[in-house]
C-alpha cells in the first residue's frame, strides 16, 4: 500500500478522536495519541521501515543453532528460502512469517483461543465465550500432545518454526511493532506449538464445523415426507460427484518415457494400521451457560478472516488436473483456486523453499510451516473443501438442574466439569465451567442445541495407531513429494478439515482423493440429533484410508472438484453435508468440450464468470412469466434478462435483475420455513429448480398466508418480477458490481487499509467466485514437465504492513485477471543474481 493511504487511515482515526469518540478500532480503547504519533516510535516507523531491508543485503546474526541459510526477496517482496536442512528452513519460514504477518498470526490464534477480549474488551466477549465452551483450547493442546508423543519428525519442524517466530519477536522494540499493535495498545505474544495448532483448528472450524442438525429436524417436522424427499435428496439425477464412478479408476500409477515411477521417499511411513474403533474422548475443557447461538452480532465490524467469523456456507474452491493427452505440452497440468474470505493482509503467504533435495513454491499459511498449495520439480497439488458434516449433536438427559451428571445406558454418569478462564480487558477474570460427556462438551443451555453434547471431528485426538504423521506433516511431505506414492503417504496423516486433494506429476499421473478422517456412525448420516442416553449412538470409528474414495488416471483424462457431493449413491458409508451443485458440473462440461488445454485456457476457466444455475433457471422463469400484461418498462426489463448470456460481469444490469428475481421467488416458495422461534434448513437451488421445471403446481409454491386461491410457480415468478419492476420506479437496475459490493477488507476493519469496490466479474455459482468479501484467495496454474512452470495471482501481497509496497501489490493484477510467474530459483547463484535483496543468517 502506498504511504498516502496509510496516512489517510490514521487521519480518519484522529478525526474520530476529535469528534469525541471514546473508542478505537473494533471497540477497543484508543492508545495514547502522543505515543501513537511519536515520530521515532509511533506508526510512522512502520511506514518508513516496511520495505527498506528487502532491497539490501543484510547480515542477520542470531544466537540459535538453526539460524542458518539465506532468505532472498524478489521484486514483489516474495521470500525465497535457501537452507541445507528442513529444520533450518522451518526456522527461517517462522522468522519471515513473523516479519511479514505477526499481527495477523496473533489475532487469528486469539480468535480460536477465545482471548480476543483480553485485547479488545467486551465487544468480542460472546465470541470468546463460544470458543471456550466449545473446547477449542483443549482440542489444540491435545493435538500438540499427540504430535509430540507420536510424531517426532513433525514435532521437530513445529519446534523449529516456533523458534524462528520467537527469535524475530525477541528482536523487536515497541517502535518495531506492527501498526495494529500500536492502534490497539498491546504487544506480541510468545509463539508456541500450541498456537500453531490453534491456527489450524481455526481453519478446520471455518471449513468443517458446519452443521444444521436441529434445523434439519425442524424442517422434517414441518414438511410432508414426500415434499422433504423431493427437496432434500441424498443424490439427484445428473449429479457429477468428485469421484464419479469406481470403474473409471486405474489401479497403478504410470511411468513416463522410460523414467521409473518413484517408489516414494516416505515409503517407511506407508504401513498404517486400519483405523480401530475408539473409545470416548479424554476429558475436555471449558464452559458456562450459554445463549442459543454464538452471539456474534457485535463482530461484523471486526475481523473478516476465516478464523474470526462463523463458518461461511460458501467456503469452497475449484481444482482440476488434466493428463498429458489433454495438455498441449505433453505433460499434465493442474489448476487450484481456494475460495475464502478476502482480507488484507492476505490469508496466504507466497514462498519458495529450497533444500538440496527439493525445490518447492506455492502458498503457506502464516502460523504453520510448509507449503499448503504448490508444486516442486516432480508434482503439483491443490485442495478444495469436502464439505461433509463431521459435527454431530447428542441430546443429554441430566439427572438434575446442576448439569453435573447424566443418564447413559440406564446408569448415572458424572460429567467432567472443566474450568477455564476468560479475560476481558477492564474486567475481572471470569471462570467458565463446561460439562463434558463421553460425546464431547455441552456448550448451550438455551436454544435448539440446549443440553446437546457436541461431537466434532476437529476435537478428536487421532494418535499413532491410526496415522504415522500429523496434518502438519501432510503438507511438509507434499512439498517434498516425488511421486504418487509420496502423495498417498502424505495424505494418510491428514485428519481435518477434509479436503479434495488434486494431484499431477511429471510421469503423467493425475489423481483426486477426498481425504480426511470421516466418521463411521452407528446409524444415520449425522444430519439430525442423536439420543445421548445411549452410548451405542456414538461414532464407531473412521473409514479406513483404503476405503476412502479416490481416483487415479481416469479414462476421461481429467480429475476435478468444486465442493460438490463426494460420491455417488453406491458408496457404502452414509453422510450428509453442504455441497455445491453448479461449479463442478460447469467445469467438467468445459473440460470435456475443450479438448486439449494450455496454460492460457486453464487460467481462462478459473476466470470464467458464467453461471450454470443462471443458464438452467433463467429460461424457466421467463417461460412462466405472463408477457401479455407487461408494461413498456416491464417488457424492457424482460428483454434485458432474455438477452443475457448468464455472465456475471461487473457492469451487467441483467445479472442484478436475475439475482433479485431468483432470490425473491425462492423466498416466496419457502414461506413455510419461517418462524420466529426456530430456524430451518433451506433446500438447495437445484432441487428447487427441478421442482419449478417438473412440478410447477406443487403445494410448496402455495403461500400459506393466503387462503383465497392457491399459488403456483408461475404465480410466484410473476409476483417477484412485478415487485422488482415496482421497486425500480421507472429507473435503471444497478450494475452487478454495486449490488455485490465486493471489497478486500482489512483483517481488523481499519478504515483506509482495505480495497476500493471491486468491479470485476464474478458471482456465487460461477467458476470465478466473487460475492461480497468472498472469492478466490489464491489462483495457481502449473505446467508439469522436465522443469515445471507455474503462474499465480493473489488478492494482496506478501507483507502485512500497510506501509509496505508488498502489502497489496498483487491486488490489481488479481482483480484484472492477470497472473505472475511463480519462479523457483534453481540454486543460490541464480537467486543471488535475480533477487533484489537478501537476509543472510549466520
506-524: pLDDT as tens digits: 999 999 999 999 999 999 9
Tally of CB atoms within 10 A around 677: 6
In a domain, 148, yes or no: no
How many domains does one find in the chain? Answer: 1
Per-residue HEC secondary structure of 767-784 comes to CCEEECCEEECCEEEEEC
pLDDT at 25: 43
CATH number at residue 723: 1.10.1400
Tally of CB atoms within 10 A around 238: 8
The answer to whether residues 357 and 461 touch, using CB atoms and an 8 Å cutoff, is: no
Average confidence (pLDDT) over 392-406: 97
pLDDT at 784 > cutoff 80: yes
Q: How confident is the model at residue 677 (pLDDT cuts 50, 70, 90)?
A: confident
Q: How confident is the model at residue 207 (pLDDT cuts 50, 70, 90)?
A: very high
Euclidean distance between CA atoms 678 and 676, whole angstroms: 6
How distant, in Å, are the alpha carbons of 374, 535, 825, 827 from that of 831?
A: 19, 60, 6, 6
DSSP 8-state code for residue 512: E
Euclidean distance between CA atoms 466 and 730, whole angstroms: 65
Residue 377 phi, psi (nearest 5): -70, -15
The answer to whether residues 824 and 361 touch, using CB atoms and an 8 Å cutoff, is: yes
User: In 516-557, at which residue ranges do the beta strands (DSSP E only) sit?
Assistant: 519-520, 530-531, 541-542, 551-552
pLDDT at 50 > cutoff 60: no
Euclidean distance between CA atoms 750 and 729, whole angstroms: 37
Average confidence (pLDDT) over 240-268: 56
Question: Can you give the residue range of the structural domain that contains 618?
Answer: 612-646+653-734
Half-sphere exposure of 754 (CA within 13 A, CB side): 21
Q: How confident is the model at residue 462 (pLDDT cuts 50, 70, 90)?
A: confident
Comparing 123-127, 185-189, 249-253, 559-563, the range with the smallest average pLDDT is 249-253
The answer to whether residues 437 and 417 touch, using CB atoms and an 8 Å cutoff, is: no
Euclidean distance between CA atoms 591 and 796, whole angstroms: 29
pLDDT at 732 > cutoff 50: yes
Average confidence (pLDDT) over 412-436: 96
Euclidean distance between CA atoms 144 and 64, whole angstroms: 23
pLDDT at 17: 41
In a domain, 348, yes or no: no
Euclidean distance between CA atoms 40 and 157, whole angstroms: 37
3-class secondary-structure state, position 711: coil
**Strands 411-414, 69-73: parallel, antiparallel or unpaired by DSSP?**
unpaired
pLDDT at 438 > cutoff 50: yes
In a domain, 689, yes or no: yes
pLDDT at 664 > cutoff 90: yes
In a domain, 638, yes or no: yes
pLDDT at 581 > cutoff 80: yes
Task: Give the Cα-Cα-Cα angle 545, 550, 554 (nearest 5 degrees).
Answer: 155
Q: How confident is the model at residue 314 (pLDDT cuts 50, 70, 90)?
A: low
Scanning 778-823, the segments in alpha helix (DSSP H) are: 811-815
| pLDDT digit string, tens, across residues 22-35 | 344 444 444 555 55
Q: How confident is the model at residue 600 (pLDDT cuts 50, 70, 90)?
A: very high
How distant, in Å, are the alpha carbons of 201, 741, 744, 752 from that of 734?
A: 40, 11, 21, 25
pLDDT at 246: 53
The answer to whether residues 303 and 745 touch, using CB atoms and an 8 Å cutoff, is: no
Euclidean distance between CA atoms 828 and 808, whole angstroms: 28
Task: Give the Cα-Cα-Cα angle 551, 555, 561 (nearest 5 degrees).
Answer: 45
In a domain, 630, yes or no: yes
Euclidean distance between CA atoms 694 and 683, whole angstroms: 16
- Residue 74: name the closest of 842, 605, 677, 831 by CA: 831
* pTM score of the predicted model: 0.91
The answer to whether residues 7 and 1 touch, using CB atoms and an 8 Å cutoff, is: no
How distant, in Å, are the alpha carbons of 67, 89, 172, 177 from that of 841?
A: 6, 11, 17, 22
In a domain, 193, yes or no: no
Q: How confident is the model at residue 277 (pLDDT cuts 50, 70, 90)?
A: very low
Euclidean distance between CA atoms 71 and 411, whole angstroms: 62
Name the maximum alpha-carbon separation found in the chain.
Answer: 84
pLDDT at 172: 96
Q: What percent of the chain has pLDDT over 70?
A: 85
pLDDT at 273: 32
The answer to whether residues 474 and 488 touch, using CB atoms and an 8 Å cutoff, is: no
In a domain, 387, yes or no: no
In a domain, 13, yes or no: no
**Strands 358-364, 349-355: parallel, antiparallel or unpaired by DSSP?**
antiparallel
Mean pLDDT of all residues belonging to the chain? 88
Per-residue burial over 25-47, b if 16 or more Cβ lie within 10 Å, else e, is bbebebbeeeebeeeebbbbbbb
Amino acid at each position: 500500500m502506498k504511504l498516502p493511504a496509510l496516512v489517510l487511515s490514521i487521519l480518519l482515526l484522529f478525526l474520530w478522536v476529535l469528534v469525541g469518540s471514546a473508542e478505537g478500532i473494533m471497540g477497543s480503547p484508543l492508545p495514547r495519541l502522543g505515543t501513537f504519533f511519536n515520530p521515532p516510535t509511533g506508526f510512522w516507523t512502520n511506514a518508513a521501515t516496511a520495505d527498506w531491508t528487502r532491497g539490501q543485503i543484510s547480515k542477520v546474526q542470531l544466537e540459535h543453532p538453526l539460524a542458518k541459510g539465506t532468505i532472498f526477496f524478489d521484486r514483489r517482496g516474495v521470500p525465497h528460502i535457501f537452507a541445507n536442512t528442513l529444520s533450518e528452513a522451518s526456522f527461517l519460514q517462522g522468522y519471515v512469517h513473523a516479519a511479514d504477518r505477526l499481527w495477523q498470526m496473533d489475532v487469528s490464534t486469539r480468535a480460536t483461543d477465545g482471548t480476543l477480549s483480553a485485547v479488545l474488551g467486551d465487544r468480542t466477549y460472546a465470541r470468546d465465550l463460544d470458543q471456550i465452551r466449545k473446547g477449542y483450547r483443549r482440542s489444540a493442546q491435545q493435538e500438540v500432545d499427540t504430535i509430540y508423543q507420536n510424531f517426532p519428525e513433525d514435532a521437530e519442524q513445529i519446534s523449529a518454526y516456533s523458534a524462528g517466530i520467537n527469535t524475530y519477536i525477541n528482536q523487536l522494540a515497541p517502535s518495531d511493532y506492527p501498526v495494529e499493535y500500536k492502534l490497539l495498545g498491546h504487544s506480541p505474544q510468545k509463539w508456541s506449538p500450541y498456537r500453531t495448532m490453534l491456527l489450524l483448528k481455526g481453519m478446520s472450524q471455518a471449513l468443517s464445523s458446519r452443521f444444521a442438525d436441529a434445523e434439519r429436524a425442524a424442517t422434517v417436522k414441518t414438511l410432508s415426507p414426500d415434499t422433504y424427499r423431493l427437496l432434500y435428496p441424498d443424490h439427484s439425477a445428473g449429479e457429477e460427484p468428485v469421484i464419479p464412478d469406481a470403474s473409471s479408476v486405474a489401479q497403478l500409477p504410470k511411468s513416463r518415457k522410460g523414467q521409473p515411477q518413484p517408489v516414494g521417499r516416505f515409503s517407511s511411513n506407508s504401513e498404517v494400521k486400519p483405523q480401530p474403533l475408539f473409545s470416548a474422548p479424554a476429558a475436555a475443557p471449558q464452559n458456562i451457560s450459554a445463549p442459543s447461538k454464538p452471539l456474534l452480532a457485535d463482530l461484523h465490524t471486526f475481523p473478516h478472516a476465516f478464523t474470526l467469523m462463523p463458518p461461511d456456507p460458501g467456503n469452497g474452491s475449484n481444482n482440476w488436473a488434466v493428463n498429458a493427452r489433454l495438455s498441449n505440452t505433453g505433460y499434465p497440468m493442474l489448476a487450484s483456486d481456494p475460495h475464502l474470505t478476502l482480507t488484507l493482509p492476505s490469508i496466504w503467504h507466497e514462498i519458495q523453499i529450497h533444500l538440496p533435495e527439493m525445490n518447492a513454491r506455492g502458498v503457506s499459511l502464516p502460523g504453520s510451516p510448509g507449503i499448503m498449495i504448490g508444486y516442486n520439480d516432480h508434482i503439483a497439488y491443490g485442495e478444495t473443501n469436502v464439505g461433509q458434516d463431521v459435527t454431530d449433536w447428542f441430546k443429554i438427559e441430566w439427572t438434575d438442574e446442576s448439569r453435573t451428571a447424566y443418564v447413559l445406558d440406564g446408569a448415572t454418569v458424572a460429567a467432567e466439569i472443566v474450568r477455564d478462564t476468560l479475560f476481558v480487558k477492564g474486567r475481572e477474570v471470569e471462570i467458565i465451567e463446561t460439562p463434558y460427556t463421553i460425546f464431547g462438551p455441552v456448550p448451550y443451555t438455551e436454544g435448539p442445541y440446549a443440553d446437546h453434547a457436541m461431537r466434532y471431528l476437529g476435537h478428536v485426538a487421532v494418535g499413532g495407531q491410526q496415522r504415522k504423521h500429523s496434518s502438519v506433516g501432510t503438507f511438509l511431505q507434499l512439498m517434498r513429494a516425488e511421486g504418487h506414492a509420496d502423495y498417498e503417504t502424505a495424505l494418510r496423516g491428514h485428519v481435518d478439515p477434509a479436503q479434495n486433494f488434486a494431484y499431477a506429476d511429471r510421469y503423467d499421473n493425475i489423481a483426486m482423493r477426498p481425504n480426511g478422517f470421516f466418521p463411521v456412525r452407528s446409524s444415520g448420516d449425522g444430519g439430525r440429533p442423536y439420543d445421548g442416553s445411549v452410548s451405542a449412538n456414538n461414532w464407531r470409528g473412521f473409514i479406513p484410508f483404503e476405503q476412502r474414495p479416490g481416483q487415479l488416471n481416469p479414462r476421461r483424462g481429467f480429475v476435478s472438484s468444486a465442493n460438490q457431493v463426494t460420491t455417488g449413491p453406491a458408496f457404502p458409508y452414509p453422510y450428509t453435508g453442504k455441497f455445491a451443485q453448479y461449479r463442478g458440473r460447469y467445469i467438467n462440461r468445459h473440460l470435456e468440450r475443450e479438448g486439449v488445454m494450455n496454460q492460457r485456457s486453464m487460467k481462462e476457466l478459473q476466470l470464467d464468470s458464467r453461471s450454470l444455475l443462471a443458464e438452467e433457471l433463467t429460461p424457466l422463469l421467463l417461460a412462466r412469466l405472463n408477457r401479455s400484461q407487461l408494461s413498456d418498462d416491464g417488457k424492457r426489463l424482460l428483454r434485458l434478462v432474455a438477452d443475457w448470456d448468464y455472465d456475471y460481469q461487473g457492469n451487467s444490469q441483467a445479472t442484478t435483475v436475475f439475482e433479485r428475481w431468483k432470490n425473491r421467488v425462492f423466498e416466496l416458495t419457502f414461506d413455510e420455513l419461517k418462524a420466529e422461534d426456530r430456524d430451518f434448513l433451506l433446500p438447495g437451488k437445484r432441487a428447487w429448480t427441478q421442482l419449478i421445471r417438473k412440478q410447477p403446481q406443487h403445494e410448496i409454491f402455495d403461500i400459506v398466508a393466503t387462503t383465497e386461491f392457491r399459488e403456483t410457480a408461475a404465480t410466484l415468478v410473476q409476483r417477484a418480477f412485478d415487485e422488482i419492476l415496482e421497486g425500480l420506479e421507472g429507473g435503471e437496475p444497478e450494475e452487478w458490481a454495486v449490488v455485490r459490493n465486493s471489497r478486500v477488507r482489512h483483517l481488523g476493519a481499519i478504515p483506509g487499509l482495505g480495497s476500493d469496490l471491486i468491479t470485476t466479474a464474478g458471482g456465487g455459482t460461477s467458476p470465478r467466485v466473487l460475492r461480497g468479501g468472498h472469492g478466490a484467495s489464491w489462483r495457481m496454474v502449473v505446467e508439469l514437465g522436465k522443469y515445471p512452470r507455474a503462474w499465480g495471482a493473489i488478492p494482496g501481497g506478501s507483507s502485512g504492513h500497510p506501509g509496505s509496497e508488498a502489502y497489496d501489490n498483487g491486488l490489481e493484477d488479481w482483480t484484472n485477471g492477470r497472473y505472475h510467474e511463480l519462479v523457483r530459483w534453481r540454486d543460490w547463484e541464480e537467486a543471488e543474481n535475480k533477487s533484489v535483496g537478501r537476509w543472510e543468517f549466520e
